């Protein structure tokens, strides 16, 4: 059985329990909001722990000795999750406006000048051989990404679609900062819109290293399958966690 077949089997099993009990849904949303925010921020260098992230999100408290920016990163990411959840509930289309709105939420109060705006400079990615496209090509590259998305959104397996969208987005690197958090949110927007739970890329060293390694392989060697497999594994884990709660 292939990984996609296992995912389909788990998804079908979860669908049999729908509509999920409201108490279970709230519990899962609360847990995933904290874990998703913690891991996505930690991948980018935020030093707040999982427990500290929970305290900031659920109790609105600040953590002594931690930077104000790190608190904003937590608050902003949690708000961005709420935004994409509402986006999915309203069955709204994923567009470039969505991309800019999510990015604005990620960077507000941190870098208001660039929040929600495509980069106007050329950038390099630390530790990567990949050089993102010239900033003058960003509008064209993003338009091509959404043309690809519209052509494939109803044809490709949702997990493959989400993973490939994630990769193409970071390949373009349309913003000067906040690309990683933004693309992981957009990837999960795609998954949520197809009835999947969010895929959480863990910040623990082994998975974070594999995440960067497979993205680099896709960018430089054009070998994208290992990255798709990594994201599929995250989806599979989430489906199992959801089933453990609702069974």
Q: How far apart are CA 162 and CA 211, in angstroms?
A: 15
- Active site (catalytic) residues: 173
Q: How far apart are CA 159 and CA 194, in angstroms?
A: 9
8 A C-beta contact, residue 102 and residue 186: yes
Q: Side-chain half-sphere of 2: how many Cα atoms within 13 Å?
A: 7
DSSP 8-state secondary structure symbol assigned to residue 194: T
8 A C-beta contact, residue 182 and residue 171: no
Q: How far apart are CA 117 and CA 102, in angstroms?
A: 11
Q: How far apart are CA 189 and CA 71, in angstroms?
A: 23
Backbone angles phi, psi at 199, to 5 degrees: -90, 120
Q: Which two tokens stand for residue 63?
A: 């953590």
Non-local CB neighbours of 204 within 8 Å, separated by 6+ positions: none
3-state secondary structure 87-127: HHHCCCCCCHHHHHHHHHHHHCCCCCCCCCCCCCCCCCCCC
């Amino acid at each position: 059985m292939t990984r996609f077949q296992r995912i389909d089997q788990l998804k079908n099993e979860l669908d049999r329990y729908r509509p999920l009990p409201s108490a279970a849904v709230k519990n899962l949303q609360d847990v995933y909001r904290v874990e998703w925010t913690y891991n996505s921020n930690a991948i980018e260098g935020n030093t707040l722990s999982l427990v500290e992230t929970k305290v900031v999100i659920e109790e609105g408290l600040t953590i002594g000795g931690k930077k104000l920016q790190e608190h904003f990163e937590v608050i902003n990411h949690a708000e961005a999750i709420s935004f994409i959840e509402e986006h999915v509930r309203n069955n709204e289309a994923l567009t470039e406006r969505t991309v800019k709105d999510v990015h604005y939420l990620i960077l507000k109060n941190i870098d208001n000048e660039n929040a929600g705006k495509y980069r106007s400079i050329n950038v390099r990615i630390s530790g990567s051989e990949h050089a993102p496209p010239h900033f003058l090509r960003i509008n064209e590259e993003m338009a091509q990404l959404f043309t690809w998305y519209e052509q494939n959104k109803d044809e490709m397996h949702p997990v493959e679609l989400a993973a490939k969208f994630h990769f193409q987005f970071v390949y373009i690197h349309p913003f000067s900062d906040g690309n990683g958090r933004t693309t992981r949110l957009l990837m999960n927007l795609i998954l949520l819109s197809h009835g999947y739970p969010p895929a959480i890329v863990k910040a623990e060293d082994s998975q974070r290293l594999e995440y960067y390694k497979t993205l680099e392989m896709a960018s430089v060697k054009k070998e994208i399958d290992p990255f798709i497999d990594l994201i599929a594994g995250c989806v599979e884990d989430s489906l199992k966690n959801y089933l453990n709660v609702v069974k």
